Amino acid sequence: MSEQLQRMRRVGADIAAKHAGSVDAEARFPHEAFAALKAEKLLGVMVPTELGGAGASISEVVALCHALGQYCGSTAMIFAMHQIQVACLVRHGLQSEWHRAFMRRLTSEQLLLGSATSEAGIGGDVRSSICAMEVQGARFKLSKNATVISYGADSDAIMVTARRTAESPASDQVIVPILKSDYRLEQTSTWDTLGMRGTCSIGYWLHGAGDVAQIMPLPYADISAQTMLPTSHLTWSSLWLGIATDAVARARAFVRAEARRKAGTVPPGALRLAEAVNLLQLMKSNVVAAARQYEAALASPELLTALSFAVAMNNLKTGTSQMAVQVVNHALLICGISGYRNDSDYSVCRHLRDAHSAALMVSNDRILANTANLLLVLKDDPGLFP
């Protein structure tokens, strides 16, 4: 076990799990867990060592998200969304001195990065923007009606997408990190939801400004396809797997308690527990295989831009998001009323509510429609191994 993973499990068990109930009940940001994550220097693990980070691989970050997901889904989702932004900086900002300096500051100050990619009026399509950069000399400014900026009030910087210029088409986008001191948020919605309540995914008008040097050099289309999309699907899937893993652990504990209480008999939930463990193994296999596929693709531009890779990442997200609900529902049926109660040691209420968010981030229907278009031109692969 890596040192980072040990520290994450310590934060999860000692802090995140302790406050998960109040974070969920009050729909509040998990301040205690993120204070601990910052103290353990876990926010900058992906940043290269020469810039003060740990140089963690995507597989190592996926493992961290999985571990944290077993203690608090909201905390793990915020951590995952932060790491998605860090991955974009690390993969596409190392040739820019501004972004290198920003990564040094991120690691030294343990800055928390948010994201403003959604926007009113684009119908959920993050690959389109109405908001546009207004450049004057070496400075820019922008105003964006973001339908969601998760944990925006608690972010130290926000990565914002916008059209390159006011004359650019909606799909000609850039992405830029803007520091908290350089933007202003005007709240436009509230966050009172079924699950993932601690992510505080509130809508805001964001008014920001900065130096032109802050704008990421690569078009957002490339950053999204090469880094943001696969990293999102991998980190999200791993934390959903973490939620399902803890639900199964509670179901297993319930079955064992029943077996001890009625010695010599097989509890009614034992068979369903075997089914849940089987589903959990399939989920884990999908996440591990996808992480290895992405790491292999990082060394090959041809693999990274292949239609088969895009389909594989899409399938990971849609498949894992559906299976998470199935697994947690199995755990609920195993634990019965004890799993249904919020005040039980075997409760999986929060797990099930959090898991239901998975199919909506980004909508599975939108992803499946994209996959369907890709399949029209993708050649069949009859082989077992890539």
> Is residue 381, in this structure, part of any structural domain at all?
no
CATH code of the domain covering residue 172: 2.40.110.10
Domain count, the chain: 3
Same domain, 170 and 183: yes
Contact 91, 231 (CB under 8 A): no
Last residue of a domain, one of 112, 147, 181: 112
Same domain, 351 and 278: yes
Alpha helices in the chain (DSSP H): 3-11, 17-26, 31-39, 58-69, 73-92, 97-109, 220-223, 229-261, 270-298, 301-304, 307-335, 337-340, 349-355, 364-375
Same domain, 93 and 119: no
CATH code of the domain covering residue 351: 1.20.140.10
- From the CB of residue 106, how many other CB atoms can be counted at a distance below 10 Å? 28
- From the CB of residue 62, how many other CB atoms can be counted at a distance below 10 Å? 27
Written as one string, the DSSP assignment of 298-335 is HT-HHHHT-HHHHHHHHHHHHHHHHHHHHHHHHHHHHH
Same domain, 233 and 305: yes
> Is residue 100, in this structure, part of any structural domain at all?
yes
Residue 224 makes CB contacts below 8 A (sequence gap 6+) with 126, 127
Condensed to tens digits (0 to 9), the pLDDT of residues 233-283 reads 999 999 999 999 999 999 999 999 999 998 888 898 999 999 999 999 999
Condensed to tens digits (0 to 9), the pLDDT of residues 55-94 reads 999 999 999 999 999 999 999 999 999 999 999 999 999 9
CA distances from 37 to 5, 111, 227 (A): 12, 11, 24
Last residue of a domain, one of 79, 112, 145: 112
Range of the domain at 26: 3-112
Same domain, 344 and 239: yes
Q: Give the global pTM.
A: 0.97
Q: Is the dihedral of CA 124, 127, 133, 138 positive or negative?
A: positive
Confidence of residue 130 (pLDDT cuts 50, 70, 90): very high
